[in-house]
Chains A and B, each alone.
Chain A
Amino acid sequence: MRRTPRLVAALGAALALLASGCAAGPSEQDLLDSVATGPTDELGLLTGKPYDGTHIRLLSCCKTTAQFAALQEKTDREFTAKTGITVEWANIPYESYLQKIVAETAVGGGTYDLVVWPDAYGASAKIGLQPLDEVMRRADRSIDEFSPPFQQAARAGDPDTVYGIPFRGFSYNHFYRKSEYERLGMTPATTWDEFTAQLRRLDGAGGRAAFAGQYGRGGGQNLYTWMSMLWSNGADVLGRDGEPAFTTPQGVAATEQYLALLRDGHSPQASTNWTETDSTQSFEQNRTNSVFTWAWQMDDFTDPAKVQPEVAGDIGVAPLPGWPGKPTVTYGFTWLMGILNTSDHQGAAWEYLKWVTNAETERDVALDKSDPDTATSVVVHTANMLDPEVNAVNHGLPKLQESALRTARTVPMTIDWPQIQDVLEVAINEMAHGADVRTKLDEAAAQIRTLTRR
């Protein structure tokens, strides 16, 4: 037994040694110190290759997404040729992506220079991100190049600071089978009552279900339609005071209407557990007549290689319905790109960020239809959305998006959003499984109050 104390002492010493190493983490840099100044070219890039030979890494997901693939390809061909900076897009699994980006920004690792994140995680991610206002001002760039929801997402809840530049985003739209609507002599509904009446006629039309809803739990995807309905009816997820605001009569009514699409049998029973992919696949596989989803899906819906042949040539798109006398407010989804505090190559990272979010770069990509794997209709600059040439080759979708985005919103920008989203998506899923709407909403509101009062 007498040996034991010495053993403990040795272990203690080892632990102390380990603890003393704790100060040596990746250090934080300041973007302004590492950004070089000098003459720039037409894309705003510094001439004379000041960062020649630098390798930067971008934390991203889904490298096969057409827009990402297009940008990566263009990066090598154009950006690297001009600047000498090589860029590596890391491909993180989509399923665990949200956690990884938050971990990279909050926990930090020092491996990456740039990060791409979806709007909902901005408030949590900003602790690890560099403010961009000053460098944007110097480069003559402005967040006003983008629609209101994109701007809100870029500020991540901080009224005066921009943390990321939008580089992928879309409005939420109503897609439908054109021929079926024509056969029934209908035009897309503008109010929910009208929409529901149309669904009754679409039930079983062409052997398809009327509507592909998404009520399953997964990444907050069952909240997209719900939030849009909530906002359009004058309710909100969180009020100005940060308190839950969805239990008002308007909130309950909107939720009831949302669930009625499923409960009245317009959306297939299985959609109780569908997420975004399941519902769009059902539409692509010619099993449903209509679906609500992101505008970019148009690229897939019209691609005969990706959908049933009879679907590809038969797609209509419209704004979401609303309530009479109230403005329709939908969710505008934003992907942003920002510079990590722990990056050792912030100057080069800023060069890339400027280039990749440049309206010209974006326009080139949206116009290039030479390869189906990189063809995309996604543009986020208001100027490009209104550009006739861009609209001509993209089904006129950008213009439609621009008008929807004018009144659109982003999700609440609070660091509690991941938890709030979790509570809400579970509540929606449980309502879809039959739980009472009123009770569930109250329960969710109570849970949210508890977790925001910490």
Chain B
Amino acid sequence: MTDMAVKPAPAPARSAPAPRPRRRPGGWAIVRAALRVLATLAILFFVLFPILWMALTAFKPARDAFSTAVVFAPTLDNFAAILGGASDLTGALVNSVLIAVATTIVSIPLALLAAYAFSRYRFPGHRGMLLAIVATQFIPGVAIALPFLTLFRSLGLIDTHLALVVVNLSLVVPYITWLLKGFVDGLPIEIEEAARLDGCGQVSLLWRVITPLAAPGIFVAAVFSFLLSWNEFLFPTFLARTDASTLPVALMTLVLPEGVAWGQMAAAGLLVMAPMLIMALLVRKHFAEGMTMGAVK
């Protein structure tokens, strides 16, 4: 790929320092600073506007849903409609929470154990398995969902929470195994060695030493796991009908025969979005790292 040595990073001539940093007060500097501020505001607008607009629409009365008015008498009608009202989505909300929580609870211990093994041991197949785990992320969802459709039919598991938790593992476990491996790599090994010298067995080492040390990492992994399950659309589309239908899919119930109920859609959207936005802000620092999955390491 890239051989950095070939790319001529400019070799600075250190020997002749300029008398002083160039300073050109006024003129250009001000224009450039202003442009930078404007550009930053444009970025803020680009990033936030769709979110704010949806939040705004969620509080609009039905007759204003289609207007671009910013001033209106706010109402909670849309929320009333989706929470127990005519287009009740509380069932889907509960399903979303249950499935995301269950997926997280199941996948964290699995991934932590695997991450620990990858991080602390060398064994035959180490590299191969590590790469194979990344490779699973390239499998298109349909290829996974289709066989499960027929398998779950045979097992009578169509439209159950269990079915969705099982398929969600295919998304979550590989991903957070990598994430946690990164965290465990960063833990000082001396503590473990000391614990072993103290006669700490493998199980209590993992439980008493590694788990608390990796707690921040586990938290990040848990958030990711929750987010991936929460936002998942393809699997519930295939494998759920009503009893296990999750929020992103249930948004479709608001596409009524007489048109899309945009006000309610916005309210439901806020419901789908808000927890994820908060979580994303909580793990903001690790988000980008997680995406590049150790590739930069």
CB proximity of B235 to chain A, nearest CB, Å: 14
Contact between B124 and A3 (Cβ–Cβ < 8 Å)?
Answer: yes
Q: How far is the CA of A73 from the CA of B243 in the complex (A)?
A: 22
* A403 located at the interface, meaning its Cβ lies under 8 Å from any Cβ of chain B in the complex: no
Contacts of A204 in B (CB 8 A): none
Binds A, one of B15-23, B193-201, B252-260: B252-260
Known: A93-B250, A93-B252. A100 touches B153 (CB 8 A): no
List, in ascending order, chain A residues with CB within 8 A of B143's CB: none
| A21 sits at the interface (CB 8 A) | yes
In chain B, positions 131-168 with a C-beta closer than 8 Å to chain A are 149-151, 153-156, 158-159
Task: Please report the C-alpha to C-alpha distance between residue A92 and residue B91 in the assembled complex, in whole angstroms.
Answer: 13
| Residues B149 and A107 in contact, CB atoms below 8 Å apart | yes
Decide if B153 touches A109 in the complex (CB within 8 Å): yes
- B86 contacts the other chain (Cβ, under 8 Å)? yes
Give the chain B neighbours of A9 by CB distance below 8 A.
Answer: none
Q: Residues 222-245 of chain B: 1 if any A CB is under 8 Å from the residue's CB, otherwise 0?
A: 000000000000000100011100
Closest to A61 in B: B257
Contact between chains at A1 and B124 (CB < 8 Å): yes
Q: Does B125 contact A (CB under 8 A)?
A: yes
Number of chain B residues whose Cβ lies closer than 8 Å to a Cβ of chain A: 27
B158: nearest chain-A partner, CB-CB = A109
Report the nearest A residue to B250, measured CB to CB: A93
In A43-74, the 8 Å CB interface with B consists of 59, 62, 64-65
Residue of A nearest to B243 (CB): A111
A26 x B241 contact (CB < 8 A): no
Q: Is the CB of A21 within 8 A of B154?
A: yes
Q: Is the CB of A91 within 8 A of B153?
A: no
Docked complex: A1-23 residues within 8 A CB-CB of B: 1, 3-4, 18, 21-23
Provide the residues of chain B in CB contact with A59, threshold 8 Å.
Answer: 241
Kindly state the separation between the CA atoms of A101 and B2 in the bound complex, as whole angstroms: 53
Interface contact A64-B154, CB-CB below 8 Å? no
The answer to whether B154 and A109 have CB atoms under 8 Å apart is no
Q: How far is the CB of B74 from chain A (nearest CB, A)?
A: 23
Q: Mark B198-216, 1 if CB is under 8 A from A, else 0.
A: 0000000000000000000
**With known contacts A24-B154, A96-B237, A300–B258 Cβ distance under 8 A:** yes
- A148 interface residue per 8 A CB criterion: no
Residue of B nearest to A22 (CB): B154
On whether the beta carbons of B258 and A277 are closer than 8 Å, the reply is yes
The reply to whether the CB of A325 lies closer than 8 angstroms to some CB of chain B is no
Which residues of the other chain, A, contact B254 by a CB distance below 8 angstroms?
A: 93
Q: Is chain B's interface secondary structure helix, strand, loop, or mixed overall?
A: mixed
Residue interface bits A82-108, CB-to-B below 8 A is 1, else 0: 000000001111111000100110011
Please, which residues of chain B bring their CB within 8 A of the CB of A65? 257
Check A110 against B259 for contact (C-beta < 8 Å). Answer: no
A25 contacts the other chain (CB 8 A)? yes
Assess whether B256 is in contact with A24, with CB atoms less than 8 Å apart. Answer: no
| CB atoms of A91 and B253 under 8 A apart | yes
- Nearest A residue to B261 by beta-carbon distance? A64
CB-based contact A277/B257 at 8 Å = yes
Q: Please state if A1 and B154 are interface contacts (CB–CB under 8 Å).
A: no
Chain B residues, CB < 8 A from A23? 154
Known contacts A65-B257, A96-B237: does B124 contact A4 (CB below 8 Å)? yes
A281 sits at the interface (CB 8 A): yes
- Decide yes or no: A90 and B155 within 8 Å by CB, A1-B125, A96-B252, A107-B150 being known contacts: no
- Nearest-Cβ distance from residue B170 to partner chain A, whole angstroms: 15
B92 to chain A, nearest CB (A): 10
| A62→B243 CA distance, assembly (Å) | 17
Whether B155 pairs with A281 at a CB distance below 8 angstroms is no
Q: How close is B15's CB to chain A, nearest CB, in angstroms?
A: 57
Instruction: Please encode chain B, from 246 to 285, with 1 for each CB lying within 8 Å of some chain A CB and 0 for all others.
Output: 0001101111111100000000000000000000000000
Within 8 A of A (CB), among B48-80: none
- A44 → B minimal CB distance (Å): 29
- Shortest Cβ distance from residue B225 to the other chain A in the assembled complex, whole angstroms: 23
Residue of B nearest to A93 (CB): B252
Q: Which residues of B contact A3 (CB under 8 A)?
A: 124
Does the CB pair A109–B150 fall under 8 Å? no
Asked whether, in the complex, the Cβ of B153 is within 8 Å of the Cβ of A108, the reply is: yes
Interface centre among A3, A21, A93, A110 (most CB of B within 10 A): A93
Min CB gap B197→A, angstroms: 28
The chain B residue with its CB closest to the CB of A96 is: B252
- Shortest Cβ distance from B168 into chain A, in angstroms? 17
CB of A117 to closest CB in B, whole Å: 14
A441 to B15, CA, bound (A): 77
Q: Are A111 and B241 in contact (CB under 8 A)?
A: yes
- Which of B87, B155, B243, B250 is most buried by chain A, counting CB atoms within 10 A of its CB? B155
How far is B110's CA from A72's CA once the two chains are assembled, in angstroms? 47
Query: Nearest-CB distance from A160 to chain B (Å)?
Result: 29
Which A residues lie within 8 Å of B155 (CB)?
Answer: 21-22, 24-25
Q: Which residues of A contact B241 (CB under 8 A)?
A: 59, 90, 92, 100, 103-104, 109, 111
Question: CB-CB < 8 A to B250: which residues of A?
Answer: 93
- Other A-B contacts than A107-B153, A109-B153, A109-B241, 12 sampled, CB-CB below 8 A, are A4-B125, A22-B151, A59-B241, A64-B256, A93-B253, A94-B257, A96-B249, A100-B241, A103-B241, A110-B156, A111-B241, A111-B242
What is A's interface to B at a CB cutoff of 8 Å? 1, 3-4, 18, 21-26, 59, 62, 64-65, 90-96, 100, 103-104, 107-111, 277, 281, 300, 306
What are 12 residue pairs bridging A and B, where the CB atoms are less than 8 Å apart in the complex? A18-B151, A22-B154, A59-B241, A90-B241, A93-B252, A93-B255, A94-B252, A96-B237, A103-B241, A107-B149, A109-B156, A306-B258
